[in-house]
Amino acid sequence: MEYIKKANDISMEITEETESTVKQIIKDVKTNGDTAVKQYEEKFGQSSRALRVTAEEMEASIATLPDETKVLIERIVERVTKFAEAQMECLVPLDKDFGDGIRMGHRVIPVEKIGAYVPGGRFPLLSSGPMVTVPAKVAGAEKIIACSPANYKGGIHPAVLYGLQCSGVTDIFAIGGAQAIAAMALGTETVPEVDVIAGPGNRFVAEAKRQVFGRVGIDLIAGPSEILVFADETSNPKLCAADLLAQAEHDPNSRAILVSLSKKQAEETITEVEQLLQTFEETSPAHDAWSQSGEVLVAASLEEGIACCNDYAIEHLHVHIPEHDTFKDQFQNYGSLFLGEDSSVVFSDKVSGPNHTLPTQRGGRYTGGLWVGNYVKVVTHQTITGEGTQYLAAHAAAQSSIEGLEGHRTSAERRLKS
Protein backbone atom coordinates (compact mmCIF):
# COMPACT_ATOMS: atom_id res chain seq x y z
CA MET A 1 0.00 0.00 0.00
CA GLU A 2 1.43 3.36 -1.06
CA TYR A 3 0.17 6.74 0.14
CA ILE A 4 0.21 9.46 -2.51
CA LYS A 5 -1.68 11.86 -0.24
CA LYS A 6 -2.04 11.34 3.51
CA ALA A 7 -4.42 13.12 5.85
CA ASN A 8 -3.20 15.30 8.69
CA ASP A 9 -3.52 13.76 12.14
CA ILE A 10 -6.83 15.37 13.13
CA SER A 11 -8.43 13.99 16.28
CA MET A 12 -12.19 13.50 16.22
CA GLU A 13 -12.35 12.69 19.93
CA ILE A 14 -14.83 14.60 22.05
CA THR A 15 -12.97 17.16 24.14
CA GLU A 16 -13.38 17.51 27.90
CA GLU A 17 -14.77 20.99 27.29
CA THR A 18 -17.52 19.67 25.00
CA GLU A 19 -18.30 16.85 27.42
CA SER A 20 -18.59 19.16 30.43
CA THR A 21 -20.61 21.76 28.51
CA VAL A 22 -23.14 19.15 27.43
CA LYS A 23 -23.29 17.65 30.92
CA GLN A 24 -24.18 21.06 32.36
CA ILE A 25 -26.84 21.67 29.70
CA ILE A 26 -28.51 18.34 30.47
CA LYS A 27 -28.39 19.04 34.19
CA ASP A 28 -29.94 22.49 33.72
CA VAL A 29 -32.72 21.19 31.48
CA LYS A 30 -33.49 18.44 33.98
CA THR A 31 -33.77 20.99 36.80
CA ASN A 32 -35.34 23.97 35.04
CA GLY A 33 -37.14 22.59 31.99
CA ASP A 34 -38.34 25.14 29.45
CA THR A 35 -36.56 27.99 31.23
CA ALA A 36 -33.18 26.35 30.72
CA VAL A 37 -33.97 25.41 27.11
CA LYS A 38 -34.89 29.02 26.31
CA GLN A 39 -31.76 30.34 27.98
CA TYR A 40 -29.55 28.07 25.90
CA GLU A 41 -31.46 28.92 22.75
CA GLU A 42 -30.75 32.59 23.38
CA LYS A 43 -27.11 31.88 24.22
CA PHE A 44 -26.21 29.47 21.42
CA GLY A 45 -28.92 29.98 18.82
CA GLN A 46 -29.60 33.70 19.27
CA SER A 47 -33.28 32.77 19.35
CA SER A 48 -35.88 34.08 21.79
CA ARG A 49 -38.95 32.78 19.97
CA ALA A 50 -41.53 30.30 21.29
CA LEU A 51 -40.28 26.74 21.39
CA ARG A 52 -43.24 25.09 19.69
CA VAL A 53 -43.95 25.60 15.99
CA THR A 54 -47.69 26.24 15.76
CA ALA A 55 -50.00 25.04 13.00
CA GLU A 56 -50.48 28.65 11.92
CA GLU A 57 -46.72 29.21 11.66
CA MET A 58 -46.37 25.98 9.69
CA GLU A 59 -49.07 26.97 7.25
CA ALA A 60 -47.67 30.47 6.70
CA SER A 61 -44.11 29.24 6.27
CA ILE A 62 -44.93 26.39 3.90
CA ALA A 63 -47.03 28.75 1.77
CA THR A 64 -43.79 30.51 0.77
CA LEU A 65 -42.35 27.34 -0.81
CA PRO A 66 -42.32 27.07 -4.61
CA ASP A 67 -44.44 24.21 -5.94
CA GLU A 68 -41.42 22.57 -7.58
CA THR A 69 -39.69 22.35 -4.18
CA LYS A 70 -42.76 20.73 -2.69
CA VAL A 71 -42.76 18.14 -5.47
CA LEU A 72 -39.13 17.26 -4.72
CA ILE A 73 -39.87 16.86 -1.01
CA GLU A 74 -42.94 14.72 -1.70
CA ARG A 75 -40.83 12.46 -3.93
CA ILE A 76 -38.24 12.08 -1.16
CA VAL A 77 -40.91 11.06 1.34
CA GLU A 78 -42.45 8.62 -1.14
CA ARG A 79 -39.18 6.85 -1.94
CA VAL A 80 -37.92 6.70 1.65
CA THR A 81 -41.33 5.36 2.69
CA LYS A 82 -41.29 2.59 0.09
CA PHE A 83 -37.82 1.42 1.11
CA ALA A 84 -38.69 1.51 4.82
CA GLU A 85 -41.89 -0.44 4.14
CA ALA A 86 -39.87 -3.09 2.27
CA GLN A 87 -37.51 -3.34 5.25
CA MET A 88 -40.45 -3.60 7.64
CA GLU A 89 -41.76 -6.58 5.68
CA CYS A 90 -38.58 -8.43 6.65
CA LEU A 91 -39.35 -8.01 10.35
CA VAL A 92 -41.87 -10.75 11.00
CA PRO A 93 -43.24 -12.21 14.25
CA LEU A 94 -42.09 -15.67 15.38
CA ASP A 95 -44.17 -18.28 17.21
CA LYS A 96 -42.80 -21.82 17.02
CA ASP A 97 -42.56 -25.14 18.90
CA PHE A 98 -39.07 -26.01 20.17
CA GLY A 99 -39.91 -29.40 21.61
CA ASP A 100 -42.93 -30.98 23.34
CA GLY A 101 -44.53 -28.38 25.59
CA ILE A 102 -42.03 -25.66 24.66
CA ARG A 103 -43.39 -22.88 22.46
CA MET A 104 -41.39 -19.68 21.99
CA GLY A 105 -41.18 -16.70 19.72
CA HIS A 106 -41.01 -12.95 19.40
CA ARG A 107 -43.22 -9.98 18.59
CA VAL A 108 -42.28 -6.86 16.66
CA ILE A 109 -43.64 -3.88 18.61
CA PRO A 110 -43.29 -0.22 17.59
CA VAL A 111 -41.55 2.17 19.98
CA GLU A 112 -44.26 4.58 21.12
CA LYS A 113 -42.53 8.00 21.19
CA ILE A 114 -39.78 9.05 18.80
CA GLY A 115 -37.63 12.17 18.98
CA ALA A 116 -36.01 13.31 15.72
CA TYR A 117 -33.17 15.79 15.55
CA VAL A 118 -32.97 17.61 12.22
CA PRO A 119 -29.84 19.77 11.91
CA GLY A 120 -29.99 23.28 10.49
CA GLY A 121 -26.51 23.26 9.00
CA ARG A 122 -25.15 25.51 6.29
CA PHE A 123 -27.91 24.59 3.85
CA PRO A 124 -31.56 23.51 4.23
CA LEU A 125 -31.03 19.84 3.36
CA LEU A 126 -34.42 18.70 2.09
CA SER A 127 -33.90 15.00 2.85
CA SER A 128 -32.70 15.24 6.45
CA GLY A 129 -36.12 15.39 8.11
CA PRO A 130 -37.81 12.60 6.12
CA MET A 131 -34.78 10.31 6.47
CA VAL A 132 -35.10 10.39 10.27
CA THR A 133 -38.88 10.51 10.65
CA VAL A 134 -40.38 8.45 7.81
CA PRO A 135 -39.03 5.11 9.14
CA ALA A 136 -40.59 5.92 12.52
CA LYS A 137 -43.98 6.44 10.87
CA VAL A 138 -43.62 3.21 8.89
CA ALA A 139 -42.67 1.36 12.09
CA GLY A 140 -45.94 2.51 13.66
CA ALA A 141 -44.75 5.01 16.28
CA GLU A 142 -47.69 6.76 17.98
CA LYS A 143 -45.88 10.07 18.52
CA ILE A 144 -43.07 11.59 16.47
CA ILE A 145 -41.65 14.89 17.61
CA ALA A 146 -38.90 16.80 15.84
CA CYS A 147 -36.46 19.49 16.94
CA SER A 148 -34.54 21.73 14.55
CA PRO A 149 -32.64 24.99 15.10
CA ALA A 150 -34.41 28.30 14.53
CA ASN A 151 -31.72 29.58 12.19
CA TYR A 152 -33.84 30.72 9.22
CA LYS A 153 -35.47 34.12 9.66
CA GLY A 154 -36.24 33.37 13.28
CA GLY A 155 -37.66 29.94 12.62
CA ILE A 156 -37.16 26.64 10.80
CA HIS A 157 -36.69 26.70 7.04
CA PRO A 158 -40.05 26.12 5.28
CA ALA A 159 -38.60 23.25 3.23
CA VAL A 160 -37.61 21.45 6.43
CA LEU A 161 -41.07 22.08 7.90
CA TYR A 162 -42.80 20.72 4.79
CA GLY A 163 -40.64 17.61 4.83
CA LEU A 164 -41.56 16.97 8.45
CA GLN A 165 -45.23 17.60 7.78
CA CYS A 166 -45.24 15.16 4.86
CA SER A 167 -43.45 12.59 7.02
CA GLY A 168 -46.19 12.46 9.65
CA VAL A 169 -44.44 14.32 12.47
CA THR A 170 -46.88 15.15 15.28
CA ASP A 171 -45.04 18.03 17.02
CA ILE A 172 -42.23 20.34 15.88
CA PHE A 173 -40.02 22.49 18.10
CA ALA A 174 -37.59 25.24 17.08
CA ILE A 175 -34.77 24.04 19.32
CA GLY A 176 -31.22 23.12 18.36
CA GLY A 177 -28.06 21.71 19.88
CA ALA A 178 -27.61 19.72 23.05
CA GLN A 179 -30.57 21.49 24.67
CA ALA A 180 -32.87 19.88 22.07
CA ILE A 181 -31.54 16.41 22.88
CA ALA A 182 -31.87 17.06 26.62
CA ALA A 183 -35.42 18.35 26.23
CA MET A 184 -36.54 15.28 24.28
CA ALA A 185 -34.75 12.83 26.59
CA LEU A 186 -35.95 14.38 29.85
CA GLY A 187 -39.18 16.11 28.86
CA THR A 188 -40.05 19.69 29.79
CA GLU A 189 -43.27 21.62 30.33
CA THR A 190 -43.54 21.99 26.54
CA VAL A 191 -41.45 19.21 24.97
CA PRO A 192 -42.70 15.64 25.47
CA GLU A 193 -40.33 12.98 26.78
CA VAL A 194 -39.50 10.38 24.12
CA ASP A 195 -38.27 6.78 24.07
CA VAL A 196 -35.77 6.93 21.19
CA ILE A 197 -33.80 9.85 19.76
CA ALA A 198 -32.44 9.70 16.22
CA GLY A 199 -30.77 12.01 13.74
CA PRO A 200 -27.37 13.57 13.00
CA GLY A 201 -25.91 16.78 14.42
CA ASN A 202 -22.76 18.61 15.45
CA ARG A 203 -20.38 17.47 18.18
CA PHE A 204 -22.61 18.88 20.94
CA VAL A 205 -25.61 16.97 19.61
CA ALA A 206 -23.54 13.80 19.27
CA GLU A 207 -22.18 14.13 22.80
CA ALA A 208 -25.65 14.83 24.19
CA LYS A 209 -26.98 11.66 22.56
CA ARG A 210 -24.10 9.73 24.09
CA GLN A 211 -24.83 11.12 27.56
CA VAL A 212 -28.60 10.48 27.50
CA PHE A 213 -28.24 6.97 26.07
CA GLY A 214 -29.68 4.50 28.54
CA ARG A 215 -32.40 6.85 29.64
CA VAL A 216 -33.52 6.77 26.01
CA GLY A 217 -32.44 4.72 23.04
CA ILE A 218 -30.47 6.32 20.22
CA ASP A 219 -29.86 5.36 16.60
CA LEU A 220 -26.09 5.92 16.41
CA ILE A 221 -23.52 8.66 16.92
CA ALA A 222 -22.44 9.96 13.53
CA GLY A 223 -19.71 12.44 12.70
CA PRO A 224 -18.87 14.41 9.54
CA SER A 225 -19.49 12.76 6.17
CA GLU A 226 -17.04 10.18 4.79
CA ILE A 227 -16.50 8.57 1.40
CA LEU A 228 -14.04 6.01 0.05
CA VAL A 229 -13.90 5.61 -3.73
CA PHE A 230 -12.41 2.26 -4.82
CA ALA A 231 -11.01 2.47 -8.35
CA ASP A 232 -8.76 0.80 -10.90
CA GLU A 233 -7.07 1.76 -14.17
CA THR A 234 -10.44 1.81 -15.99
CA SER A 235 -12.11 4.24 -13.57
CA ASN A 236 -12.94 7.74 -14.77
CA PRO A 237 -10.85 10.30 -12.80
CA LYS A 238 -13.44 13.03 -13.42
CA LEU A 239 -16.22 10.97 -11.84
CA CYS A 240 -13.99 9.89 -8.96
CA ALA A 241 -13.05 13.51 -8.25
CA ALA A 242 -16.66 14.67 -8.36
CA ASP A 243 -17.77 11.93 -5.98
CA LEU A 244 -14.98 12.70 -3.51
CA LEU A 245 -15.76 16.41 -3.39
CA ALA A 246 -19.52 15.90 -3.20
CA GLN A 247 -19.02 14.50 0.30
CA ALA A 248 -16.12 16.79 1.19
CA GLU A 249 -18.38 19.83 0.83
CA HIS A 250 -20.56 18.68 3.74
CA ASP A 251 -18.12 19.73 6.45
CA PRO A 252 -14.52 20.93 6.82
CA ASN A 253 -13.86 17.72 8.78
CA SER A 254 -15.34 15.43 6.13
CA ARG A 255 -13.11 12.60 4.89
CA ALA A 256 -12.66 11.91 1.16
CA ILE A 257 -10.46 8.90 0.36
CA LEU A 258 -9.41 7.27 -2.91
CA VAL A 259 -8.04 3.72 -2.97
CA SER A 260 -6.90 2.86 -6.49
CA LEU A 261 -5.28 -0.15 -8.08
CA SER A 262 -3.52 2.21 -10.50
CA LYS A 263 -0.99 4.90 -9.57
CA LYS A 264 -1.62 6.67 -12.87
CA GLN A 265 -5.37 6.76 -12.24
CA ALA A 266 -4.80 7.99 -8.67
CA GLU A 267 -2.55 10.84 -9.83
CA GLU A 268 -5.04 11.83 -12.53
CA THR A 269 -7.83 11.89 -9.95
CA ILE A 270 -5.79 14.21 -7.70
CA THR A 271 -5.33 16.56 -10.66
CA GLU A 272 -9.08 16.50 -11.36
CA VAL A 273 -9.87 17.18 -7.69
CA GLU A 274 -7.57 20.19 -7.63
CA GLN A 275 -9.04 21.57 -10.85
CA LEU A 276 -12.62 20.99 -9.72
CA LEU A 277 -11.94 22.64 -6.37
CA GLN A 278 -11.08 25.86 -8.21
CA THR A 279 -14.73 26.10 -9.28
CA PHE A 280 -16.00 25.87 -5.68
CA GLU A 281 -16.72 28.97 -3.63
CA GLU A 282 -13.82 29.99 -1.42
CA THR A 283 -16.02 29.45 1.63
CA SER A 284 -16.85 25.85 0.68
CA PRO A 285 -15.88 23.32 3.38
CA ALA A 286 -14.53 21.11 0.58
CA HIS A 287 -11.25 23.08 0.50
CA ASP A 288 -10.36 22.37 4.13
CA ALA A 289 -11.75 18.84 4.01
CA TRP A 290 -9.59 17.84 1.05
CA SER A 291 -6.53 19.70 2.28
CA GLN A 292 -6.66 18.37 5.83
CA SER A 293 -8.41 14.99 5.60
CA GLY A 294 -8.22 13.89 1.97
CA GLU A 295 -6.25 10.71 1.31
CA VAL A 296 -5.11 8.86 -1.83
CA LEU A 297 -3.67 5.34 -1.65
CA VAL A 298 -2.49 2.86 -4.26
CA ALA A 299 -3.06 -0.84 -3.55
CA ALA A 300 -0.80 -3.48 -5.03
CA SER A 301 -3.67 -5.90 -5.70
CA LEU A 302 -7.43 -6.23 -5.64
CA GLU A 303 -7.19 -8.25 -2.42
CA GLU A 304 -5.09 -5.56 -0.73
CA GLY A 305 -7.52 -2.90 -1.89
CA ILE A 306 -10.53 -4.77 -0.48
CA ALA A 307 -8.70 -5.29 2.83
CA CYS A 308 -7.98 -1.55 2.94
CA CYS A 309 -11.64 -0.73 2.34
CA ASN A 310 -12.71 -3.07 5.14
CA ASP A 311 -10.14 -1.54 7.49
CA TYR A 312 -11.43 2.00 6.88
CA ALA A 313 -15.03 0.81 7.58
CA ILE A 314 -16.13 3.97 5.82
CA GLU A 315 -19.55 5.61 5.84
CA HIS A 316 -19.99 5.58 2.03
CA LEU A 317 -18.06 2.96 0.04
CA HIS A 318 -18.32 3.66 -3.70
CA VAL A 319 -16.84 0.98 -5.99
CA HIS A 320 -15.89 2.35 -9.42
CA ILE A 321 -14.47 -0.97 -10.65
CA PRO A 322 -16.63 -2.52 -13.42
CA GLU A 323 -16.29 -6.16 -12.26
CA HIS A 324 -17.68 -5.36 -8.80
CA ASP A 325 -20.21 -8.23 -8.88
CA THR A 326 -17.37 -10.77 -8.71
CA PHE A 327 -16.06 -9.49 -5.35
CA LYS A 328 -18.78 -7.31 -3.77
CA ASP A 329 -19.50 -9.89 -1.04
CA GLN A 330 -15.95 -9.49 0.24
CA PHE A 331 -16.79 -6.01 1.53
CA GLN A 332 -17.81 -6.41 5.18
CA ASN A 333 -17.38 -3.03 6.89
CA TYR A 334 -19.22 0.05 5.59
CA GLY A 335 -22.24 2.22 6.24
CA SER A 336 -23.69 1.89 2.74
CA LEU A 337 -22.28 0.32 -0.43
CA PHE A 338 -22.53 1.88 -3.89
CA LEU A 339 -21.70 -0.46 -6.77
CA GLY A 340 -20.71 0.92 -10.16
CA GLU A 341 -19.53 4.37 -11.20
CA ASP A 342 -23.09 5.59 -11.90
CA SER A 343 -24.39 4.66 -8.41
CA SER A 344 -23.65 8.11 -7.01
CA VAL A 345 -23.66 8.58 -3.26
CA VAL A 346 -25.47 11.84 -3.98
CA PHE A 347 -28.52 9.82 -5.04
CA SER A 348 -28.66 8.29 -1.57
CA ASP A 349 -28.02 11.65 0.06
CA LYS A 350 -31.09 13.01 -1.67
CA VAL A 351 -33.76 10.63 -2.86
CA SER A 352 -32.97 7.00 -3.80
CA GLY A 353 -34.58 5.53 -0.67
CA PRO A 354 -32.09 3.84 1.70
CA ASN A 355 -31.35 5.99 4.72
CA HIS A 356 -28.48 8.46 4.57
CA THR A 357 -27.97 8.54 8.35
CA LEU A 358 -24.96 6.22 8.53
CA PRO A 359 -22.11 5.21 10.86
CA THR A 360 -18.83 7.12 10.64
CA GLN A 361 -15.41 6.87 12.31
CA ARG A 362 -15.21 3.11 11.64
CA GLY A 363 -18.65 2.48 13.11
CA GLY A 364 -19.33 0.31 10.08
CA ARG A 365 -17.38 -2.44 11.87
CA TYR A 366 -20.31 -3.07 14.22
CA THR A 367 -23.46 -1.36 12.95
CA GLY A 368 -25.37 -0.25 9.92
CA GLY A 369 -27.24 2.98 9.41
CA LEU A 370 -30.59 4.26 10.64
CA TRP A 371 -33.48 2.07 9.50
CA VAL A 372 -37.01 1.13 10.41
CA GLY A 373 -35.61 -1.45 12.85
CA ASN A 374 -34.37 1.37 15.10
CA TYR A 375 -38.00 2.18 15.86
CA VAL A 376 -39.30 -1.26 16.81
CA LYS A 377 -38.66 -3.65 19.68
CA VAL A 378 -38.24 -7.35 18.93
CA VAL A 379 -39.36 -8.88 22.23
CA THR A 380 -39.49 -12.57 23.04
CA HIS A 381 -42.16 -14.73 24.70
CA GLN A 382 -42.43 -18.35 25.79
CA THR A 383 -45.08 -20.79 26.96
CA ILE A 384 -43.79 -23.90 28.77
CA THR A 385 -46.18 -26.75 29.62
CA GLY A 386 -46.30 -30.50 30.24
CA GLU A 387 -43.22 -32.40 29.18
CA GLY A 388 -41.47 -29.15 28.38
CA THR A 389 -41.84 -28.02 31.98
CA GLN A 390 -40.38 -31.29 33.30
CA TYR A 391 -37.43 -31.24 30.92
CA LEU A 392 -36.47 -27.60 31.55
CA ALA A 393 -37.17 -27.76 35.31
CA ALA A 394 -34.82 -30.71 35.75
CA HIS A 395 -32.08 -28.94 33.84
CA ALA A 396 -32.59 -25.60 35.62
CA ALA A 397 -32.62 -27.23 39.07
CA ALA A 398 -29.38 -29.11 38.39
CA GLN A 399 -27.67 -26.04 36.98
CA SER A 400 -28.84 -23.85 39.86
CA SER A 401 -27.39 -26.31 42.38
CA ILE A 402 -24.00 -26.10 40.70
CA GLU A 403 -24.22 -22.30 40.67
CA GLY A 404 -25.30 -22.11 44.31
CA LEU A 405 -28.51 -20.25 43.53
CA GLU A 406 -31.04 -21.66 46.00
CA GLY A 407 -33.94 -19.48 44.91
CA HIS A 408 -33.53 -20.52 41.30
CA ARG A 409 -33.28 -24.21 42.28
CA THR A 410 -36.42 -24.03 44.43
CA SER A 411 -38.44 -22.30 41.69
CA ALA A 412 -37.47 -25.03 39.21
CA GLU A 413 -37.89 -27.99 41.59
CA ARG A 414 -41.41 -26.98 42.68
CA ARG A 415 -42.49 -27.56 39.09
CA LEU A 416 -41.08 -31.09 38.97
CA LYS A 417 -43.53 -33.93 39.38
CA SER A 418 -42.62 -36.50 42.05
Is the Cβ–Cβ distance between 374 and 219 less than 8 Å?
A: yes
Give the pairing type, strands 217-218 and 196-198.
parallel
Q: Where are the alpha helices (DSSP H) in 50-127?
A: 55-62, 67-89
How buried is 144 (Cβ within 10 angstroms: 0-12 exposed, 13-18 middle, 19+ buried)?
Answer: buried
Partners of 145 in the β-ladder: 115, 171
Q: For the chain, how big is the Rg over CA atoms in Å? A: 25
Is the Cβ–Cβ distance between 204 and 18 less than 8 Å?
A: yes
Give the pairing type, strands 102-110 and 113-117.
unpaired
Q: Please give the sequence-ordered ranges of beta strands (E in DSSP) within 68-168, or none if there are none.
A: 94-97, 102-110, 113-117, 143-147
- CA pair distance 408, 393, nearest whole angstrom: 10
- In the chain, the amino acid numbered 276 is L
Neighbours of 207 (CB within 10 A): 24
Known active-site residue 315: yes
Known active-site residue 316: yes
In Å, what is the CA distance from 260 to each residue of 249, 301, 376?
A: 22, 9, 40
Determine which one of 250, 287, 316, 318 is catalytic.
316
Query: What number of residues does the chain have?
Result: 418
Determine which one of 315, 318, 320, 341 is catalytic.
315
- In the chain, the amino acid numbered 224 is P
3-state secondary structure of 358: coil
- CA pair distance 295, 299, nearest whole angstrom: 13
State the number of CA atoms in the 13 A half-sphere of 236 facing the CB: 8
- CA pair distance 340, 232, nearest whole angstrom: 12
Give the pairing type, strands 376-384 and 102-110.
antiparallel
Neighbours of 212 (CB within 10 A): 21
- CA pair distance 122, 181, nearest whole angstrom: 20
- CA pair distance 279, 262, nearest whole angstrom: 26
Q: Which residues are catalytic?
A: 315-316
